[in-house]
Structure 1
Amino acid sequence: MRFLHTSDWHIGRTFHGYSTLEALSGVLDAIPSIVREHHVDAVLVAGDVFDSTTPSGAALEVLTAAIRAIRAAGAVVVLSSGNHDSAARLGFQSEWAAFGGVHVRAVAGAATLQEPVLLTDEHGEVAVYGIPYLEPLLLRGSLPEGTPSTQAGVLEVAMDAVRTDAAARGVRSLVLAHCFAGASLAEAEGLERDITAGGLDIVPTSTFEGVDYAALGHIHGRQTLTDSIRYSGAPLHFTFGEGGKPRGGWLVDVGAGGLERVTWVDLPVPREMTTLRGTLDELLASPAHAPAEQHWVRAVLTDDVRPLDSMRRLQQRFPYCALIEFAPSSPEQHAAAGYAARVSAGRSDTDLVDGFLAFVRRGNGLSDDERDLVTKQLAQLGAES
């Protein structure tokens, strides 16, 4: 039996103010072709189906179209909730959806883990357990006494229930979960906003032992923790930090004896992301940057003085320039001194203005023309007072 492991669709997320619905819809349109080409039996979505607990009507339409196309291609769909999803909204009418081959696991509870999605091949049944996103604080009263109020604690309880049920059924098993598992802070930082008291709530990989495959979500780049515990990452680049990382999913083959192989399959990238560095004039003039003219662009400007109207000017050449950062090439003068120390030595009002501009411009004070203008204006103010 073959599964396609995906996660973190984040339908409805914006990218620096731009909607991603059209781009994501185009990427999800490629999944039915993968289902047909690779004879996929079930498509798995391991959490964060939506980016918001209150998805828009347009976001609901994107999900509906994607699921309809996947089902038409012949695959069952199994979705579990993530921390961005509303369990109630995602799980609404899930009982009826299951009759159409769309299985949603969003509501936490023993019944969820004791009623896996059962699929059958020539070797018997395969049980797919979708663990909804488990918020430790909300589940505190229903956990066994002594369970730590952490993701690791609640997921260990959930996995104990999964292992017990799978053993009783005598079936091969897969589990979907949404968490930071075995991920370092550097890997997780900037990719998600699930921060707990004391830092990120890390789940050990040992939590997922005892099943044939763990399809994880929450981290937006693909990762292999073990042969049988993996992240697929998001289908779309949602930040410049993710640019260049592959987008796709894992094809998971389960044979008579359990997991047999896992291979990667790419999804299309609708628009590449590029970071350009240089002065504004260099970025606007250099022919070397021509390939980036239709990319999403982050421009790191190295001008010593911030250029005026830089975004508008950049977008004349790079229509999809979405972010500007400033990193002047010249070192800041008197780096050890604070602003008050820099201006305290001023012997005139003009010198004070010069000191202020040297601070905000990273060492570049008044130009000759500016000094002349400031001197004249200060003299005029002095005459009027």
Structure 2
Amino acid sequence: MRFLHTSDWHIGRTFHGADLLAEQEAVLGHLADLVAAEAIDAVLVAGDIYDRAVPSAEAVRVATSALSRIRQAGAQLVITPGNHDSAPRLGAFAEFAAAGGLHLRSTIAGLAEPVLLADEHGPVACYGIPYLEPEPARHALGVLGARGHTGVLTEAMRRVRADLETRPEGTRSVVLAHAFVTGGAPSESERPIAVGGVEQVPGAVFDGVDYVALGHLHGPQTLAEHLRYSGSPLAYSFSESKQRKSAWLVDLDAGGLAEVRRHELPVPRRLGHLRGELADLLSEPEFAEWIEYYLSVTVTDRVRPVDAMRKLRERFPYAVHLEWQPAGGDAGSALKYAEAVKGRPDIEIARNFLGDCRGAPPNEREERLILDALSAAGIGVDR
């Protein structure tokens, strides 16, 4: 049996304010094409279908379209919610959806009730463990002494293994889980899940099954041969610009896990970093290749350029992030303002503040505006 392991679609997410629905629809459509090309039997989505608990109508449309295309390509789907999803909303109409090949495993009570698939070698039991918030999950699981994510996932996997023991001999097993497993490397775009205890979970918690499809961390990575993160299909922070987004093709034979192959996904729009003086960035031919990239730009002018982002977007329409780091300066250093302003007159504080922000002292017109503002506030100023 062949599975496709993916996760962390985050449909509806924006990238520094830029709408990503078109890019998300394109890369998820590629997954449907891959299902047909590789004769995949089931697609495993290990959490965070949506970026919000209450997704927009457009996000729901993109998700529905992607799931429909995957199903029409010939694969069944097994999905469990992540920490961004609303488990009750995602699991609505689960019994009806299962009849059409969409299996939603969204409840704590049902985490040990597998989706049963079969091939020429016999049955495969697919267990979906939804994201478990430690405090409510320990009550729902009846393990009040459980601590943090490790405690509740240990109980969840105990129930999975107990159910697996009741299955016919030779039944192979797959688990979907959304968690931060020890050894995984995070990116800047994941929401922390440390509420309720230490967030990391030892990989040994998942021992005893043939394959574990993990979600939550956005970079593809292998923690053990049977224990992997697929990562997100798109980059959601500039920290992911060097990651090669991918999905795992997982083959089970009669004896269990046979082979895992990595399939790199297309990149609808690449990410880039540019650095230099604004005039050079806007005029030099060497920067032309970056026009179609999502860009994080650092301008190094000695004086902060006025209206820099608007000017950048005239040449680079997908510039989404801007920083100013003057060459040879220390604009990023923290100021101890209580000490810096102690005993200084208000006019001097105002002048220095403007100078710190812009990298140059106020001009004559700005000086008059400062004096007028202080006067209007009833602050006496020695002109």
**TM-score, structure 2 as length reference:** 0.90
Q: Which stretch shows the higher mean deviation, 92-101 or 337-346?
A: 337-346
Are 2:19 and 1:19 aligned? Answer: yes
Return the offset for 1:357. Answer: 3.5
Residues 65/376 of structure 1: CA separation in 2 closer, same or farther (3 Å cut): closer
Partner of 1:140: 138
Residues 283/68 of structure 1: CA separation in 2 closer, same or farther (3 Å cut): same
Amino acid across the alignment from 2:61: E
Partner deviation per Cα, 1:293-340 (whole Å, 9 max, x = no partner): 01111111122221101011000000011111122222349x798446
Amino acid across the alignment from 2:161: R
Partner deviation per Cα, 1:53-108 (whole Å, 9 max, x = no partner): 11122212111111111111111111111111111111111101111111001111
Return the offset for 1:195. Answer: 3.8
Partner of 2:367: 374
Amino acid across the alignment from 2:312: L
Return the offset for 1:119. Answer: 1.1
Partner deviation per Cα, 1:194-224 (whole Å, 9 max, x = no partner): 3435875101000111000000000111011
Partner of 2:361: 365
User: Secondary structure of the residue that 1:141 maps to in structure 2?
Assistant: helix
Partner deviation per Cα, 1:33-62 (whole Å, 9 max, x = no partner): 111111111111000111111112221211
Partner of 1:33: 33
Return the offset for 1:378. Answer: 5.4
Report the count of equivalent residues.
375
Return the offset for 1:139. Answer: 2.2
User: Secondary structure of the residue that 1:40 maps to in structure 2?
Assistant: coil
Partner deviation per Cα, 1:120-148 (whole Å, 9 max, x = no partner): 11111111111111111112323344542
Residues 383/61 of structure 1: CA separation in 2 closer, same or farther (3 Å cut): closer
RMSD of aligned C-alpha atoms? 2.8
Partner deviation per Cα, 1:159-216 (whole Å, 9 max, x = no partner): 11111211221311010000001146xx325232234358751010001110000000
Return the offset for 1:371. Answer: 5.2
Q: Distance between the aligned counterparts of 2:118 and 2:350, measured in 1? A: 77
Residues 47/360 of structure 1: CA separation in 2 closer, same or farther (3 Å cut): same
User: Secondary structure of the residue that 2:136 maps to in structure 1?
Assistant: helix
Partner of 1:261: 259
Residues 174/365 of structure 1: CA separation in 2 closer, same or farther (3 Å cut): same
Partner of 2:111: 112
Return the offset for 1:241. Answer: 1.4
Amino acid across the alignment from 1:177: A
Residues 125/312 of structure 1: CA separation in 2 closer, same or farther (3 Å cut): same
Amino acid across the alignment from 1:330: G
Partner of 2:226: 228
- Correspondence list, 1:133-282, <5 A: 133-145=131-143, 147-169=145-167, 170=169, 171-183=171-183, 187-188=185-186, 190-197=188-195, 201-282=199-280
Q: Which stretch shows the higher mean deviation, 124-133 or 138-147?
A: 138-147
Q: 2:288 aligns with which of 284, 287, 290?
A: 290
Partner of 2:58: 58
Residues 376/262 of structure 1: CA separation in 2 closer, same or farther (3 Å cut): closer
Residues 117/269 of structure 1: CA separation in 2 closer, same or farther (3 Å cut): same
Return the offset for 1:358. Answer: 3.7
Residues 372/97 of structure 1: CA separation in 2 closer, same or farther (3 Å cut): closer
Amino acid across the alignment from 2:43: V
Amino acid across the alignment from 1:16: H
Are 2:122 and 1:129 aligned? Answer: no
Return the offset for 1:156. Answer: 0.7
**Are 1:80 and 1:177, in contact at CA under 8 Å, matched by a contact in 2?**
yes
Partner of 1:102: 102
Q: Distance between the aligned counterparts of 2:307 and 2:176, measured in 1? A: 48
Residues 86/242 of structure 1: CA separation in 2 closer, same or farther (3 Å cut): same
Residues 40/209 of structure 1: CA separation in 2 closer, same or farther (3 Å cut): same
**Are 1:80 and 1:132, in contact at CA under 8 Å, matched by a contact in 2?**
yes
Q: Distance between the aligned counterparts of 1:347 and 1:142, measured in 2? A: 62
Q: Distance between the aligned counterparts of 2:369 and 2:308, measured in 1? A: 29
Partner of 1:78: 78
Amino acid across the alignment from 1:225: L
Q: Which stretch shows the higher mean deviation, 117-126 or 335-344?
A: 335-344
**TM-score, structure 1 as length reference:** 0.89
Q: Distance between the aligned counterparts of 2:30 and 2:130, measured in 1? A: 26
**Are 2:41 and 2:75, in contact at CA under 8 Å, matched by a contact in 1?**
yes
Amino acid across the alignment from 1:117: V
Percentage of identical aligned residues: 45
**Are 2:187 and 2:218, in contact at CA under 8 Å, matched by a contact in 1?**
no
**Are 1:7 and 1:218, in contact at CA under 8 Å, matched by a contact in 2?**
yes
**Are 1:9 and 1:235, in contact at CA under 8 Å, matched by a contact in 2?**
yes
Residues 231/347 of structure 1: CA separation in 2 closer, same or farther (3 Å cut): closer
Partner of 1:303: 301
Which structure has greater helix proportion? Answer: 1
Residues 5/358 of structure 1: CA separation in 2 closer, same or farther (3 Å cut): same
